Amino acid sequence: MADQNYSAVKSTVKSGIGFGSALAITISWSVNKSVFWAILHGLFSWLYVLYYLLDSNGWIGIATK
């Protein structure tokens, strides 16, 4: 019984999205309010999160805020 529960959880985790993708989608949606950009940034996941952190702190100087 416990082996069945473990295998179900393991397969669900493998087929789900990762934390980086979920974080990138959330940040993108809060900034852009666009499904297209949220999906695109979710595909890039940690790269977009890192870009957002650097850009929001003014370390790369791309954004004009």
E strand or H helix that includes residue 23: helix 19-32
Which residue type does 63 have?
Answer: A
Distances (CA, A) of 13 to 1, 8, 9, 16, 38: 19, 9, 6, 5, 21
What would you report as the CA-atom Rg of the chain, rounded to the nearest whole angstrom? Answer: 16
Contacts of 6 (CB under 8 A, 6+ apart): none
Task: Please give the Cα distance from 28 to 10 (Å, whole number).
Answer: 28
Q: Convert the pLDDT of each residue in 6-38 to its tens digit.
A: 565 555 455 568 999 999 999 999 999 999 999
Single pTM value for the model: 0.67
